[in-house]
Every structure is written in C-alpha cells, then in structure tokens.
Amino acid sequence: LALVTNNVSRVRITSDGQLTHTANKNSDYTARFNQSHADNPAYIEINGPTDNNIRPTYIQLSQAGTKKWAIGQVYASTVDRALHVCSGSSSESNSKIVVTSAGRVGINENSPACMLDIEDGASGGDGVTEILRLNGSPNDLDDGIKLQFARVGSAAGSITLQKVNNNNTTDMIFG
C-alpha cells in the first residue's frame, strides 16, 4: 500500500507491515501525532514481541543513513530491562548511560553497582582521569561550591571549596 502525492511516495506499508514515511520539508517537524481527547494522554508506544532483553525496543537516531544515537534497550543486556543511551547503534558496547529498573545509573558502566556508578574508561598508564567537575564560577570572598551528603533527608556532612581569604587561594572545608 502506498500513499502518493505528485508522483512521490510519501507513506508506504509493505506486505509484512513495515511502515515508511518520507517527507521533504525545509523546516519544522517531519511527523506530528495529535491526541484530541482531553481525558487521555498523548504517547507513542513501541511494543516488542517478547518481555525480555533478547528482543529489545529502541529508537535509532541517524543522520544521512549513519547511526548516531540510540535510546532504549539493547540486545542481551547485562542488566535485564535497563534503559540505554548509546553512541551509534543500539548495543551494550556503545552504551554511554544506563538506567536500571532499580534506579541505578551507570555512566560508561553497563552494570551499575550503586546509585551512580561512573567508569572513567581509562586503561593502565593513562594518568589521572577527571570524572566529575563541580565548577563554581564566582571568585569573590566567601564564594564556593558544596558537595552535600544527606541521610534520611537531613544533612550528614559536606565538602566545601570556598574562597575564605583575599589571597586567591581556595580552602577545602569538611563539615
């Protein structure tokens, strides 16, 4: 089945159900989905054939036919039903960010062992790798940045980097 305008195929559905939509617009959106019933949400559902990580569902973002990013699940993920943000195609080896169903987040780590698990990706002999930067831009007296630790919603400790003198030094304060 094909929908054609001015002898150009715009929508095609193959005999096995694959849908292809083609637009040739120089601005604005390619496709729009409107929910007009005020009592219901508007969403797009991608439903895979099985409820496991062997047949993943994902959205592939490409430019000129080259796969750039994928968002969704990956085939045979180390962590079942995790959400992956991948550079290139949807595969665990391309995962940059992983969110597990338990809420754990991995950055360059496919199987996060704690709530935030950051893997620097460096191998032996690469030297020191910066993996987190907290940048406070003001440089006035008493300006600084704080890393706050809490337990059950109450402050339990902190590390503060603060300019406490006018001699252009920054003190590290543990509290």
Residue with the bigger pLDDT between 127 and 94: it is: 94
Report pLDDT for 120.
82
Report pLDDT for 33.
87
Contacts 24+ apart (CB under 8 A), 80-84: 80/52, 80/53, 81/53, 82/53, 82/110, 84/58
Percentage of the chain beyond pLDDT 70 is 95
Burial class (CB in 10 A: 0-12, 13-18, 19+), 108: middle
- Reading the block at residue 92, the tokens are 């665990």
**Letter string b/e over residues 128-165, b meaning 16 or more CB atoms within 10 A of that residue's CB:** eeeeeeeeeeeeeeeebeeeeeeeeeeeeeeebebbee
pTM of the model: 0.78
Report residue 124's pLDDT band, with 50, 70 and 90 as the boundaries.
low
Report residue 126's pLDDT band, with 50, 70 and 90 as the boundaries.
low
| Mean pLDDT, range 143-147, rounded to an integer | 87
169 has pLDDT over 90: no
Report pLDDT for 31.
87
Strands (E), 65-109: 66-72, 83-87, 95-99, 105-107
